[in-house]
């Protein structure tokens, strides 16, 4: 009886913790969604469940004559997608090299990546700005993409290398005995088995630039090239803080592509993330 009582107490406590964590996560989301549906412009009179909900703020954002939100959305999607593709390509090749080959400087290279991943991008803002200015990449999406890709390589290389280390090297050797080249082994043998970690890297490398503000604000100058984060900030700043309900509407729409990508990759996500940290 005592064991059954203890089990019930532990179960009740677990449910309470889950309920508390769910409330902490869901409450701000509901408040933002409710604010986006509230009439008016100020958040002072906004409620989580508006009495007279309206979609006027969403209509305003998609009105091409009044707002550049659609342009900002497209810019963010383009930058994030290209960053994701380039990151997956570079990280896959780099991680495969560190996992499968032994060469001079391998350990030092891994150590360098480990140190680099501890340094946030905004700590090098001055250097990034000077480099972009000298190379003519200020106010270009290419410059922003290159910075994002470079910043994604160290951590994701360690993550993917850890996963590739779990794939038996005997598969590579068998394929090479059958006459397969290094590139063919990488593309047809290793990569199909590494889909979980590829999905994890793709998701991480898409989310980071999609919601980034600091680097985009430093490198981008013109309204038409702004990303969503910068564009929404400028929209609020120019109106002296009177557009917060429209800001809330724009923030809600940011979650759509991230949620869609997560749903696409969710069957790979957990196994890829856990296996990637098993071996170094």
Q: How far apart are CA 280 and CA 274, in angstroms?
A: 13
Whether 123 has a pLDDT exceeding 80, the answer reads no
Q: Answer yes or no: do 7 and 116 share one domain.
A: no
Q: Answer yes or no: do 50 and 73 share one domain.
A: no
Of residues 160, 163, 236, the one with CA closest to residue 205? 160
Q: Answer yes or no: do 73 and 14 share one domain.
A: no
| Confidence (pLDDT) at 35 | 80
Q: How far apart are CA 219 and CA 215, in angstroms?
A: 6
* Residue 189 per-residue DSSP state: I
Note the pLDDT tens digit of each residue in 145-178: 999 998 888 889 988 998 888 888 888 888 888 8
Q: Answer yes or no: do 35 and 142 share one domain.
A: no
| Confidence (pLDDT) at 276 | 44
Instruction: Enumerate the H helices of the chain as residue ranges.
Output: 2-37, 56-61, 69-100, 106-116, 125-134, 141-164, 169-177, 182-184, 191-193, 195-210, 214-219, 228-238, 244-275
Q: Answer yes or no: do 38 and 173 share one domain.
A: no
Whether 80 has a pLDDT exceeding 60, the answer reads yes
Q: Answer yes or no: do 224 and 257 share one domain.
A: yes
| Confidence (pLDDT) at 43 | 62
Q: Answer yes or no: do 155 and 185 share one domain.
A: yes
- Who's near 161: CB < 8 A, 6+ residues apart? 95, 98, 99, 110, 280
Whether 90 has a pLDDT exceeding 90, the answer reads yes
The two structure tokens encoding residue 130: 């000077």
Q: Answer yes or no: do 83 and 45 share one domain.
A: no
Note the pLDDT tens digit of each residue in 37-51: 887 766 655 666 777
Q: How far apart are the first and last CA of the chain?
A: 47
In a domain, 216, yes or no: yes
Question: In this predicted structure, which of 18-22, 54-58, 96-100, 200-204 has the lowest mean pLDDT?
Answer: 54-58
Contact 80, 202 (CB under 8 A): no
Q: What is the mean pLDDT of residues 41-66?
A: 76
Contact 94, 158 (CB under 8 A): no
Which of residues 43 and 195 earns the better pLDDT score? 195
Q: How far apart are CA 1 and CA 36, in angstroms?
A: 52
| Confidence (pLDDT) at 191 | 87
In a domain, 63, yes or no: no
Q: At 91, is the pLDDT very low, low, confident or very high (cuts 50, 70, 90)?
A: very high
- Decide: helix, strand or coil at residue 136: coil
- Who's near 262: CB < 8 A, 6+ residues apart? 203, 269
The upper half-sphere exposure of residue 94, i.e. CA atoms within 13 Å in the direction of its Cβ, equals: 21
Give the domain CATH number at 108: 1.10.3720.10
In a domain, 166, yes or no: yes
Give whichever of 21-25, 87-91, 184-188 has the largest mean pLDDT: 87-91
Q: Answer yes or no: do 38 and 92 share one domain.
A: no
Which of residues 71 and 53 earns the better pLDDT score? 71
| Confidence (pLDDT) at 280 | 44
In a domain, 209, yes or no: yes
Q: Answer yes or no: do 96 and 198 share one domain.
A: yes
Q: Answer yes or no: do 141 and 270 share one domain.
A: yes
In a domain, 59, yes or no: no
Kindly report the backbone phi and psi dihedral angles of residue 166, in degrees, each rounded to the nearest multiple of 5, phi listed first.
-85, -10
Give the domain range for residue 149.
Answer: 69-275
State percent of the chain over pLDDT 90: 23
Q: What is the mean pLDDT of the chain?
A: 83
Whether 124 has a pLDDT exceeding 90, the answer reads no
Question: In this predicted structure, which of 91-95, 184-188, 221-225 has the lowest mean pLDDT?
Answer: 184-188
Q: Answer yes or no: do 82 and 45 share one domain.
A: no
The two structure tokens encoding residue 270: 């957990």
In a domain, 60, yes or no: no
- Decide: helix, strand or coil at residue 213: coil
What's the CA angle centered on 253, arms 249 and 254, to 5 degrees?
115
In a domain, 61, yes or no: no
In a domain, 128, yes or no: yes
| Confidence (pLDDT) at 51 | 77
- How many domains is the chain partitioned into structurally? 2
Contact 164, 190 (CB under 8 A): yes
Q: What pTM was computed for the model?
A: 0.83
Q: Which of residues 16, 31, 54 is at a domain's end?
A: 54
Q: At 277, is the pLDDT very low, low, confident or very high (cuts 50, 70, 90)?
A: very low
Of residues 146, 160, 190, the one with CA closest to residue 91? 160
């Amino acid at each position: 009886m005592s064991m059954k009582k203890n089990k019930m107490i532990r179960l009740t406590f677990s449910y309470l913790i889950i309920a508390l964590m769910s409330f902490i996560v869901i409450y701000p989301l509901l408040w933002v969604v409710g604010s986006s549906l509230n009439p008016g412009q100020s958040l002072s009179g906004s409620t989580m469940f508006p009495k007279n909900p309206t979609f006027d703020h969403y209509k305003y954002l998609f009105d091409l004559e009044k707002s550049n939100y659609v342009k900002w959305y497209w810019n963010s999607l383009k930058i994030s997608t290209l960053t994701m593709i380039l990151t997956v390509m570079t990280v896959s090749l780099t991680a495969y090299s560190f996992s499968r080959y032994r060469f001079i400087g391998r350990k030092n290279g891994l150590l360098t990546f480990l140190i680099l991943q501890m340094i946030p991008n905004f700590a090098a803002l001055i250097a990034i700005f000077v480099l972009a200015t000298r190379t003519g990449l200020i106010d270009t999406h290419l410059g922003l993409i290159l910075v994002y890709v470079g910043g994604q390589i160290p951590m994701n290389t360690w993550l993917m290398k850890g996963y590739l280390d779990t794939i038996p090297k005997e598969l590579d050797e068998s394929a090479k005995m059958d006459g397969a080249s290094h590139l063919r082994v990488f593309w047809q043998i290793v990569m199909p088995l590494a889909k979980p970690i590829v999905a994890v890297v793709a998701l991480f490398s898409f989310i980071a630039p999609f919601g980034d503000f600091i680097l985009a604000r430093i490198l981008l100058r013109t309204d038409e090239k702004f990303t969503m984060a910068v564009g929404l900030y400028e929209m609020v700043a120019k109106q002296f803080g009177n557009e917060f309900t429209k800001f809330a509407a724009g923030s809600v729409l940011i979650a759509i592509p991230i949620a869609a990508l997560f749903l696409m990759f969710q069957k790979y996500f957990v196994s890829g993330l856990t296996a990637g940290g098993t071996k170094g």
